[in-house]
Chains A and B, each alone.
Chain A
Amino acid sequence: MSQDNYIEHHLEHLTLNLKTFTLGEGGGFWTLNLDTFVVGLLTALIIAVVFRYIAARMQSGVPGKLQNFVEVVIGFVDRTVNESYHGKSQLIAPLALTIFCWIFLMNTLDLLPVDLVPTILNMFGVTHFKIVPTADPNMTFAMSISIFFLIIFYNITVKGWHLGKEILTKPFGPYLFPLNILFRVLEEVARPFSLALRLFGNMFAGEVIFVLIAMMPWWVQWLPGGVWAIFHILIITIQAFIFMMLSIAYLSMAHDSH
């Protein structure tokens, strides 16, 4: 495979054409990226099963290693939520836990060698496979649009009619209300876009750099590959944490009223 083809081959998804229900191109808007869908579902199931197993067999006294790890994660998310969110909803903390663990696990799949999973799946006849779901803008936009709808829902249910007053008067005072409405709309629309594109950009750029490193001769690859993998571990954690923290911040702003 030539240089350009190698990169393009690694940037293509396994698509399901929803108009004809066959694998391959041609669906336009109506394509489902099967690799994103399957890997996202599998990672979510792994997290759900592990956490449920630990919760069902909780032991007080000296905890085992897995229970200890789960407790550390849950304590961390709980502290972060309590710092920013002062409302009473039961949804925010489990949502934050889901976001953090799911995004972190999906991002971690980027650390596997670039050709490993596609080569294994090629033996079963699967031609293209991108293993990192968060390097697909569909996945990140799905998550951020869900958060966007949650923000709108909480704004309407918690603030009620005060929401109208808030939109019309917020930054500039009541007589400049068209400007207030414009700024509010821009700010609200910019939030899901920036959340989604931040995560997508980081993961996509990381993946492309791994592919570029994989194209070098094998005796050169270890140094840049090692350095970039270590840096990428930091980026993965930071991006998952930032997505969670910004979601909590936006949802708590939707609960605020002065």
Chain B
Amino acid sequence: MEIASLVAEVQSFKAIAAALLIGFAGLGTAIGFGILGGKFVEGVARQPELSNMLMVRVFIMAGLVDAFAVISIALGLIVFFTSGQFLTPVLEAAKLASVATTG
């Protein structure tokens, strides 16, 4: 049951890491898009004839603001869904330990 508790520890930290990555990405993006949208509406209120041009610029800026948030999300998903390299060293060490005690 040693091995089970070790694996559970690694998996739980993996879950927390993935949750932090995805959560903070969402937080940053929400604030960024909020500010961007607010400035857009202000600009359109000031000069309504520029609304089309400003909207194109808003989508361009949205794609750029998205960038690092989406990198964090992608890393969080990778950490969450693949067994990755966090689990394999633990399993190999456990295998070596069990071979040492029984072999």
Contact = CB atoms under 8 A, between A and B. Distances in A.
Interface in A186-232: 194, 197-198, 200-202, 204-205, 208
A72 to B, nearest CB: 16
B66 A208 contact: no
Interface stretch (A20-28, A177-185, A236-244): A236-244
Going nearest first, the 6 A-B pairs with the smallest beta carbon separation are A201-B70, A201-B74, A198-B67, A242-B63, A238-B63, A201-B71
B68 to A, nearest CB: 8
Interface of A: 4, 7-8, 11, 194, 197-198, 200-202, 204-205, 208, 238-239, 241-242, 245
Contacts of B59: 238
Contact of A205 (B62, B64, B73, B83): B73
Contacts of B60: 238, 241-242, 245
A173 B64 CA distance: 29
- Which DSSP category, helix, strand, loop or mixed, fits chain A's interface? helix
Contacts of B72: 201
Contact of B73 (A8, A201, A242): A201
Interface in B52-102: 59-60, 62-64, 66-68, 70-74, 77-78, 81-83
- Which DSSP category, helix, strand, loop or mixed, fits chain B's interface? helix
Interface of B: 59-60, 62-64, 66-68, 70-74, 77-78, 81-83
B94 to A, nearest CB: 20
Contacts of B66: 198, 202
User: For A11, A201, A239, which residue has the most chain B Cβ atoms within 10 angstroms?
Assistant: A201
Contacts of B67: 194, 197-198, 201
A32 B72 CA distance: 26
Contact of B77 (A205, A242, A245): A205
A242 B64 contact: yes
A198 B71 contact: yes
B81 A197 contact: no
A206 B71 CA distance: 12
Given A194-B67, A201-B67, A242-B60, A8 B82 contact: yes
Contacts of A242: 60, 63-64
A88 to B, nearest CB: 26
Contacts of A7: 81
A205 B59 CA distance: 19
Contacts of B74: 197, 200-201, 204-205
User: For B66, B70, B73, B78, which residue has the most chain A Cβ atoms within 10 angstroms?
Assistant: B70
Contacts of B83: 8
A13 B29 CA distance: 30
Given A197-B71, A198-B66, 7 more contacts: A11-B81, A201-B72, A201-B73, A202-B66, A238-B63, A242-B60, A245-B60
A238 B82 contact: no
